[in-house]
Structure 1
Amino acid sequence: MTQKTKLEIIGPYTPEHPGPYIIDSAMSSDVRLVQVTVHCIVDGVAFVTTEDRDGPWCARTSDLMNAREVPVAREFWVNEYAGGGLSLAHPSLGRAAANRRTDGSFIRTIHLREVLPGDEA
């Protein structure tokens, strides 16, 4: 499986930062922080593009923020059955839809969370 990541703000925009950059997406398809590609900056205005909006647009450099990618722990649900059988539920299903067998052999659903470097045990 591929490690999931999210963007974390590490400070205001600085030209020395190699990216990624994020911006409040009030001009985007939904209001959230989104990653932008900065193409150029002229007099405090950045010419940017995003994956969720067609075409380039302009934003104030004061609205740009430096970011970094950080890993996100994955979560899994495993069903345990009589006789030692285990069945991994697809991560997108969650506990409520963990595909339990109905033959009476179900014992419990076990929640697993990936431990990332730096996480407390």
Structure 2
Amino acid sequence: MTQKTILEIISKYHKGYLGPFCTREGLPVEILTMRDRRGHILGYQGDSKELTTWCENGQFDKSCKSDTPYDLMCAREVPAQREFWVNEYHGGNRVVYDSPEKAQEFQVCLKRTIHMIEVLPGGGA
């Protein structure tokens, strides 16, 4: 299983930060340009196909004065906790599944199902 990452906000948007970026709500943002011809930042939020425009200070509000959930934020990638299920079969075979429903589908010769949640550094045990 590969390590997944999530974005963690580290500060409000500021010029000179190279990314990654997200919205105040934590939605990933793909920046296309830091300055269009009007001085705005252009990019995509999450899976959206529509371009979003931010003021040059990263605020979504066109008056550039009030905070909104769509404001641009500086972020960093951090490991995401993984959760998975391991089916242990008679004969010693083990198979890893990413959902309990998938693990339940394969019950022939099943000895037990082990539910595992990864403990990340600093997360405690």
Query: TM-score, normalising length from structure 2?
Result: 0.66
Q: Where is the strand percentage greater, Structure 1 or Structure 2?
A: 1
- Report SS of the residue matched to 2:112: strand
Structure 1 residue 70 corresponds to structure 2 residue 78:
yes
Paired residue for 2:96?
A: 89
2: CA distance, partners of 1:44 / 1:11: 21
Report the count of equivalent residues.
110
Contact persistence 1:76–1:88 (CA under 8 A) = no
Partner AA of 1:115 in structure 2: V
- Report SS of the residue matched to 2:34: strand
2: CA distance, partners of 1:44 / 1:64: 15
Contact persistence 1:95–1:109 (CA under 8 A) = no
Partner AA of 2:8 in structure 1: E
Shift of 1:38: 5.1
Structure 1 residue 23 corresponds to structure 2 residue 23:
yes
Segments of 5+ residues of structure 2 without an aligned counterpart are: 60-70
Deviations 1:9-34 (A, max 9, x none): 12211113221111369xxxxxx712
- Report SS of the residue matched to 2:87: strand
Paired residue for 2:35?
A: 41
2: CA distance, partners of 1:64 / 1:100: 45
Paired residue for 2:112?
A: 108
Contact persistence 1:37–1:49 (CA under 8 A) = yes
Contact persistence 2:8–2:76 (CA under 8 A) = yes
Structure 1 residue 117 corresponds to structure 2 residue 121:
yes
- Report SS of the residue matched to 1:41: coil
Deviations 1:81-117 (A, max 9, x none): 345x2431332xx112214333xx4332101122222
Among all aligned residue pairs of Structure 1 and Structure 2, give the percentage whose two residues are the same amino acid: 40
What CA RMSD, in Å, does the superposition of the two structures yield over aligned residues?
Answer: 2.9
Segments of 5+ residues of structure 1 without an aligned counterpart are: 26-31
Contact persistence 1:40–1:47 (CA under 8 A) = yes
